Chains A and B, each alone.
Chain A
Amino acid sequence: MEAGKIIATARDEGRHFLFEDEAKALLAASGIPVTPCRRAGSEEEAVSLAAEMGYPVVLKVRSALIQHKSDLGGVVLNLADEQAVRRAFQDILQRAAAVDAAAAVTVQPMAPPGIEVITGLVADRQFGPVLMFGLGGVFTEVLRDVCFRLVPVTPAEAREMTTAIKGSRLLDGFRGGPPADRQALADLLLAVSNLAVAVPGIKEMDLNPVTVYSKGLLVLDARVLLA
């Protein structure tokens, strides 16, 4: 599905945001590597999607009323087999029912561990869309070690962003870990910047977390707000 159609669907349903499966489809259409994420309307569908993707998998709640999925127990990680998928499916819907009786579930494969970073677009009141990049977790939330650039960025600026954060050395491999693929990261930042320009319907974007490996990277979760 191309970007315009994904956004039109959300708008038709009166939504100002994309579900994770939609957001990832939009990213994938722009060549951004994502973990596949599919909507499962039933327990049987969840099981067959899990088998298709390969275990272990992750199940997440898919609801227009629940923006912070993990707050309501809407994310269950590392499901190793069919039985675990069935139980998680039931649990998630049961917990969501109090808020949204029409909630569904998404299925995605569990990604291998790597270095976590975040990127996205911030809608700045004065500048408009601004590209953001930082290391994941406490580095962003506690230390606010993030950098900003006006979009569109050039390839050189995208590459420079990966070194502009204070924790940049952590990307070189820390305490024996493998170095992160900076070129893949720069490519991601450039692609996000290009998306902001090509799809003006996007207001904000939050790719969090993105796991970077010694070769390549994967976007594990994505939120998109529409203008």
Chain B
Amino acid sequence: MPNDKLAILDRLFNPAGVAVIGVTGDPDRVGYCLLESLVYAGFKGRIYPVHPRLDSLLGLPVYRSLDELPGPVDLAVIGVNQYATVDMVEQCGQKGIPGVVCIAGGYREMGAAGEALEERLIAAARRYNMALVGPNTLGIINTAAGLNTSFYPMRLPVGRVSLISQSGGVGLTILQKASDEGLGINKWVGVGNRSTLELSDYLEYLARDRETGVIGIFLEGTDDARRLVKTAAAAARQKPVVIYKAGRSEAVNFAAVSHTGSMAGSYRIYRQIFAQHGLLVAESVAELVAACKALAIAPLPAGNRLGVITHTAGPSIVMLDEVVRREVEISSFQPATIETIKAALGENPAVVIKNPLDAAGHGMLAASFGRLADAVAGDPGVDLVAAVYCLHLHWRFPSRELLAVRRRTGKPLLALYVGTQAGVREERDYLQAGGIPVYLTAEEAAWGAAALAHYGIRRRGEN
């Protein structure tokens, strides 16, 4: 992508002024919610609602036309119908607005008539060298700028993970799940019909974006597949990239065409080619979020050998099941580690000393759990550690101890805290601020560990 395209994308994500075209006073309508999203997210730039008759909305003055806008506009969010959108893009071009988000659907995904309309839309954007996000999209989010061009008002935790989604709905699922997990978002884009900006364009931008530490992608299918995989492979040399590709069944092809106008393509071919290029593939939204979370919060391990400390065997078995069919190895403890563990356990413990280490009753109190976690993490054959602990009415979580282990060994740790969202929230925020991602299920913890191992073995020593 030429540098000017990247520069325009940078202006789109960090606009000084945003025009919202198609606002209304009715909260049941998309036009109202587009404006509300910017206000609700605390957009830091100027907001210019445009409507031919309204005077003010949500406390903001409304402008009758683009001609009346008092300041510079880097981005116009267009919420009118698909036909009027074409005219508005033309008008924005005439005003020299460099970028537009076109929310309306009703184009290529609707067949031949829609395709012709989309061609007109593309022609208008090209005429003025504009960046056009969509159409048929929720648009873009930049949490640091308080920018949300979608008609879903949200307040998201700010962080390092940026997302590219070929679906608004799945993109929202990822955002909401990330919010629940206390995972901070940086940027988000719903690519829609990709009339002028391909998945690869956004990916190139995010690969260079300094605020983005991890990139997550939800993909249905694209004719740009070869460039996408090459771009993603190049991006993954800078920062971790995680891809969730839909379309494991043939039935998906038809649904995908009528959704965003693209065939899903062969899932197997996608999956294997992503793996060929060292990219991490997730099999669900939950896995995508779990992987992004580990990669955004924990440092990369020096290798893929996992040590597990638990006081209950089951979750560690489920974890093993998930990690070993990915790229994780379960190391055997070295003799010195076994001696340290024995010393921590005391006389005749009812514990088999092996990895995963199920300390049973010896692991129920935070102090002894911490000593055992320290021994496991200290093993030279262990590159990363998963610690399993269950929420209890009386016993406190070993969070302080785990952070101490994390600091002492410098190795990445993940915590599986079996409990409710509410019950672990405080501990979670405390641990995650200290670089230890926290999960509520064994599967998600395993996916997080596998993601760290994946990029750990590929970027060894580049931490």
CA distance A149 to B273 in the complex (A): 5
| Contact in complex: A126, B221 (CB < 8 Å) | yes
B270, B273, B276: residue with the most chain A Cβ atoms closer than 10 Å = B276
Selecting from B96-104, B124-132, B136-144, B223-231, the interface stretch reads B223-231
B265, A150: Cβ atoms closer than 8 Å: no
Closest to B221 in A: A126
Residue-wise interface mask of A (127-158) relative to B, using a CB-CB cutoff of 8 A (1 in contact, 0 not): 11010000000000000000111100100010
Interface hits, B359-388 → A, CB 8 Å = none
Q: From residue B230, how far is it (CB to closest CB) to chain A in Å?
A: 9
Tally inter-chain residue pairs, CB-CB below 8 A. 42
Q: Does A2 contact B (CB under 8 A)?
A: no
The 8 Å CB contact of A157, one of B223, B263, B276, is B276
Taken together as a complex, chains A and B put the C-alpha atoms of A189 and B328 apart, in Å, by 29
Contact A149 B272 (CB under 8 A): yes
CB-nearest residue of chain A relative to B264? A126
Q: Is the interface of A mostly helix, strand, loop or mixed?
A: strand
**Are A128 and B226 closer than 8 Å at their CB atoms?**
yes
B265 and A124 form a contact (CB under 8 A): yes
Task: Indicate if B176 sits at the interface (CB-CB under 8 A).
Answer: no
Closest partner residue, chain B, to A127 (CB atom): B225
Contact status A148-B226, CB under 8 Å = no
Cβ contact within 8 Å between B225 and A126: yes
Nearest B residue to A122 via CB reads B269
Minimal Cβ-Cβ distance residue in A for B233: A150
**Does A148 lie within 8 Å of B273, measured CB to CB?**
yes
A5 contacts the other chain (Cβ, under 8 Å)? no
A175 interface contact, C-beta 8 A? no
- In Å, the complex CA distance between A125 and B224 comes to 10
- Minimal beta-carbon separation of B250 from chain A (angstroms): 13
CB distance from B279 to the nearest CB of A (A): 12
Q: Which residues of A contact B221 (CB under 8 A)?
A: 126
Flag if A127 contacts B269 (CB, 8 Å): yes
- With the chains together, A157 CA to B223 CA distance in Å? 24
* A73 and B273 alpha carbons, distance in the complex (Å): 39
B222 within 8 A of A: yes
In the complex, which residues of chain A have a beta carbon less than 8 angstroms from the beta carbon of B224?
126
B192 to chain A, nearest CB (A): 18
Residue of chain B at shortest CB distance from A164: B272
Residues of B in contact (CB 8 Å), total 17
Interface residues on A, range: 10 to 19
Point out the residues of chain B lying under 8 angstroms from A147, CB to CB: 272
Given contacts A124-B266, A126-B263, contact A148 B272 (CB under 8 A): yes
* A149 CA / B275 CA spacing, docked (Å): 9
Measured in the bound complex, the distance between the Cα atoms of B273 and A130 in whole Å is 9
> What is the CA–CA distance of A125 and B225 in the complex, to the nearest angstrom?
9
Q: How far is the CA of A126 from the CA of B225 in the complex (A)?
A: 5
Residues of the A chain whose Cβ atoms lie less than 8 Å from the Cβ of B223:
125-126
Cα A164 to Cα B268 with chains together (Å): 13
The minimal Cβ–Cβ distance linking B217 to chain A, given in whole angstroms, is 15
From residue B231, how far is it (CB to closest CB) to chain A in Å?
13
Contacts of A125 in B (CB 8 A): 223, 263, 265
Question: Is A148 a contact partner of B268 (Cβ separation < 8 A)?
Answer: yes
Find chain A residues with CB under 8 A from B229 CB.
Answer: 127, 150
Most buried by B among A127, A130, A157, A164: A127
Chain B's nearest CB lies how many Å from the CB of A35? 30
* Alpha-carbon gap, A164 to B226, bound state (A): 21
Taking the closest CB of chain B, its distance from the CB of A126, in whole angstroms, is 4
**CB <8 Å contact, B276 and A127:** no
Q: Which residues of A contact B226 (CB under 8 A)?
A: 126-128, 150
Minimum C-beta distance from B454 to chain A (A): 16
Contact with A along B212-242 (1 / 0, CB 8 A): 0000000001111110010000000000000
Residues of A within 8 A of B263 (CB): 125-126
What's the Cα separation between A177 and B404 when bound, in Å? 56
Question: Chain B's nearest CB lies how many Å from the CB of A190?
Answer: 14
Q: How far apart are B225's CB and chain A's nearest CB, in angstroms?
A: 4
The residue on A at minimum CB distance from B224 is A126
A127 vs B276: C-alpha distance when bound (angstroms): 13
Q: What are the 6 tightest A-B residue pairs by CB atom distance, in nearest-first order?
A: A126-B225, A126-B265, A127-B225, A148-B272, A150-B273, A148-B269
26 chain-A/chain-B pairs, Cβ below 8 angstroms: A124-B265, A124-B266, A125-B263, A126-B221, A126-B222, A126-B223, A126-B225, A126-B226, A126-B263, A126-B265, A127-B225, A127-B226, A127-B229, A127-B265, A130-B269, A147-B272, A148-B268, A148-B269, A148-B273, A149-B272, A150-B226, A150-B273, A150-B276, A150-B277, A157-B276, A164-B272
Known: A127-B225, A128-B226. 5 other contacts (CB 8 A): A126-B223, A126-B224, A126-B263, A130-B273, A153-B276
